[in-house]
Amino acid sequence: MNDKMRFAVLVKAGVAEVRERKLPELKEHQVLVKHEACNICTTDYGQWMGLREHQPYPMAGGHECSGIIVTKGSAVSDDLKQGDRVGVAYGYCGICDACKVGLTGECKQMSGAPTEDGYYGDFGFSNYFVRDAKSLVKMSPELSPGEAAFLEPLATVVKGLRKLRLMPMETVAIIGAGTMGLVNAQAARAYGARVVITEVMDKKIKTARAMGFDVIRADEEDPVQAVRNWAGGQGTDAVIIAVGATIANSQALEMVKKWNGKVLLFAAGYPAPELHVDSNSIHYRKMELIGTYGADMADFMDAARLLNDKLVDVSLLIEKSYALDDIQAAYAAASTSGSYRISVKL
């Protein structure tokens, strides 16, 4: 290899290019990773579609990535070796107040500032990149590169379940059987919960049932009443909203049980969905509305265990793979309604 890296960059909405730049110099605490795959997240294709114009350009995005260690700096421990498959977690400094209490996903030093040559983003869609060793997590060689790249999205799910304080045998309704709905469903099941999913799209219903989940067709019956019936007439202990839609928010408030229910707002939407809530109802029902976003290193470590031990199987959630040079087609496929994850081979 030479000292150059090839990477995809969004120069404006709807326009992605493949460019070349010099690789960053490898420091003693860093690792050179040969990226194998980077999956296109909702935030990635949302910007490509022009729905996230608060994000800057040029955006060298991609953060759901996996790869193989090529070489490492002199201060990197033997826990990471050449040839290891790794998933990439968020960068963090380790010394700010947030990092010191374990909230690495809220690191104050990760400002989102551009590189010296003017690029924003994490350079996930690149063939090589230099990463801090502390932000890499070892993944099973039995996973495909695209499966290993689910480390980051699964970590965000683990973070949400941590905030939800989910207990074994609790009942959970998940609104939406898209990629993140089904990752949430599998993780909740791995934690011992009983799960039901509501969905309207045939393809997604088929996938959810193939994974062994009870599914309610929200276009054929009242999903609120159906969920309440599934849970013995009283509603579920928790609801996870995995689609960004006003109607989903409204349904969740009625699906959850009357007393001490918990609603996790997992998904964002653009434009922002509305939440119509009676504060007295929240008060008297002792309901919890819980927001979640991102993940900390503890969540990434738990996510790796779930993937490596096949407690969460994402093989059905990779729709198609594209080469880096076909990044425009990859974005178009990812933004197609009903698509699961599109993986970019690097």
pLDDT computed for residue 225 by the predictor = 98
Query: Burial of 118 by CB count in 10 Å (0-12 exposed, 13-18 middle, 19+ buried)?
Result: exposed
Q: CATH number for the domain including 128? A: 3.90.180.10
Using the predicted structure, report yes or no on whether residue 74 has a pLDDT greater than 80: yes
Confidence of residue 1 (pLDDT cuts 50, 70, 90): low
Q: CATH number for the domain including 278? A: 3.40.50.720
pLDDT computed for residue 110 by the predictor = 84
300 inside domain = no
Q: Is the distance from CB of 39 to CB of 343 less than 8 angstroms?
A: yes
Amino acid at 216: I
pLDDT computed for residue 325 by the predictor = 98
112 inside domain = yes
Nearest alpha carbon to residue 99 among 89, 114, 109: 109
Using the predicted structure, report yes or no on whether residue 10 has a pLDDT greater than 70: yes
What tens digit of pLDDT does each residue of 78-112 get?
999 999 999 999 999 999 999 999 999 999 988 78
Q: Give yes or no: residues 11 and 33 share one domain.
A: yes
302 inside domain = no
Round the average pLDDT of the chain to a whole number and report it. 97
Q: Give yes or no: residues 94 and 181 share one domain.
A: no
Q: Give yes or no: residues 74 and 201 share one domain.
A: no
Integer Cα distance of 343 and 331 in angstroms: 10
Q: Give yes or no: residues 183 and 266 share one domain.
A: yes
84 inside domain = yes
56 inside domain = yes
Amino acid at 75: A
Q: Give yes or no: residues 8 and 144 share one domain.
A: yes
What tens digit of pLDDT does each residue of 194-204 get?
999 999 999 99
Range of the domain at 171: 155-291
What tens digit of pLDDT does each residue of 107-165 get?
998 878 899 999 999 999 999 999 999 999 999 999 999 999 999 999 999 999 999 99
What tens digit of pLDDT does each residue of 213-245 get?
999 999 999 999 999 999 999 999 999 999 999
Token pair belonging to 319: 């729709």
Q: Give yes or no: residues 96 and 52 share one domain.
A: yes
Share above pLDDT 90 across residues of the chain, in percent, rounded to a whole number: 96
